[in-house]
Amino acid sequence: MKDVNIREEAGKLNAQLVEWRRHLHAHPELGFDTVETAAFVVERLGEMGVTEIRTGVAKNGVAAVIRGDLPGKVLGMRADMDALPVREETGLPFASTVDGRMHACGHDAHTAMLLGAARLLTAHRDKLKGAVKLIFQPSEETGSGAPAMIADGVLENPKVDAFIGLHTGNFWTGVDAGEIGYSNGPLMAAADMFTITVTGKGGHGATPHRTIDPIAIGCQIYTTLQTIVSREISPLAPAVLTIGTFQSGSAGNIVPPDCVMKGTLRALTAETRKELQDRIRGIVEGVASAMRGSASVEFHYGPPPTTNAPEMTAKLLRAAGAVVGPEHVREVDEPTMGGEDMAFFLEKAPGVFFFHPSTFGGGRDYPHHHPKFDLNEDVLWTGTGTMAQFALTWQDD
């Protein structure tokens, strides 16, 4: 790789990355409906001379192959493209032009950075071993885009042997803009949703003894569920159980027939995830039955924990070090309990998901999904550079 200086080439590309990101930022699309975004991606790839492009993968996903001149394996490089149903309040000149939609998680930057990596790799096909498959994914925020693309065959023809992906922004600490963050353990959590339905027996509020009050049962279930994390899961195993909605009833003098709660659970290992699910079910059914009612829980499974393969993490450290300097490649302080559907890809082949810090500092950083969320565009090149350098070197040694 002596005659290719990706650090320098990526740096020179930053103005282009900013332009692409701003266009995408101004035109956010939700879920699987990333029509214009996909068209933008396909146009840019066409300009780079990429011809092997499959569109319409899981509705509006794009998969494009760049083949190297040297024999080797296939690396899947993934970026998510979807925005959020948030009304933007940044006041930026390139703010969302669509009311009620915003790129408030940085997926606009992910798409731009992967396009940048594609640009660098198309210029170095003679040094590229095997091929890269660029995966532009819709609907990350629902946790359903990655499995839908997998079901639609995105990992075949050519078959993907390994993965790389990144998340930009500010949700991991311990690293600053211009650096690259990694984790040797899990980086993000398994994230499942669930719905609990309690069935009682409705009646007049003045004759509670002739009813089975689902609100009373629901309150006991809510309270008892809090003891799973505090009393049952090991204090050394991170776990979250949140009930976000509790709905029942229509008037003050009526005992309603049922009550519905919705929540989410997070865990960093498959074992803790299973334990949470089993105990929620046990408590929901047991408490309801003890109080003469009945209840059931339905799980809506999200992504598993995002966990990197150690050998791929080692390759990332080498690639990122060549781009930002080894002293600027640092382990993040701790994982986040947020979920990430990249985890579905990492279940299929070994890979690495890394953190691209794009903070401003000085109080300018708003949380992801906030109407004022923004990211530091000066460092877009470090994400592009790390991805491209990884693609060119991961099969060395």
Contact positions vs Ni ion (CB under 5 A): 105
Shortest reach from residue 292's CB to Ni ion, in Å:
44
Shortest reach from residue 189's CB to Ni ion, in Å:
13
Q: How does 166-181 read in b/e, with b if 16+ C-beta sit within 10 Å?
A: bbbbbbbeebbbbbbb
Shortest reach from residue 334's CB to Ni ion, in Å:
18
Indicate the residue among 73 and 369 with the shorter CB distance to Ni ion: 369
User: What CA–CA distance (Å, rounded) separates 386 from 249?
Assistant: 54
Indicate the residue among 193 and 237 with the shorter CB distance to Ni ion: 193
Shortest reach from residue 378's CB to Ni ion, in Å:
20
Tell me whether strands 329-331 and 180-182 are parallel, antiparallel or unpaired: parallel
Indicate the residue among 105 and 265 with the shorter CB distance to Ni ion: 105
Indicate the residue among 86 and 105 with the shorter CB distance to Ni ion: 105
In SS3 terms, 3-59 reads as CCCHHHHHHHCHHHHHHHHHHHHHCCCECCCCHHHHHHHHHHHHHCCCCEEEEEECC
User: What CA–CA distance (Å, rounded) separates 266 from 136?
Assistant: 26
Shortest reach from residue 107's CB to Ni ion, in Å:
6
Q: What residue has token string 């992967």?
A: 114
Indicate the residue among 62 and 105 with the shorter CB distance to Ni ion: 105
Q: Tokens in use for 118? A: 């594609």
Indicate the residue among 168 and 307 with the shorter CB distance to Ni ion: 168
Neighbours of 2 (CB within 10 A): 4
Contacting residues for 384 by C-beta, under 8 A, at least 6 apart? 10, 13, 17, 113, 114, 116, 117, 120
**Rounded to 5 degrees, what are φ and ψ at 99?**
-65, 130
Shortest reach from residue 257's CB to Ni ion, in Å:
39
Report which residue's Cβ sits closest to Ni ion: 105
Shortest reach from residue 162's CB to Ni ion, in Å:
22
Indicate the residue among 40 and 355 with the shorter CB distance to Ni ion: 355
For the four alpha carbons of 309, 311, 312 and 313, in that order, the dihedral sign comes to positive
Indicate the residue among 161 and 341 with the shorter CB distance to Ni ion: 341
Burial class (CB in 10 A: 0-12, 13-18, 19+), 342: buried
User: What CA–CA distance (Å, rounded) separates 68 from 245?
Assistant: 51
DSSP helix, strand, coil percent of the chain (3-state; round to 5): 35, 25, 35
Shortest reach from residue 113's CB to Ni ion, in Å:
13
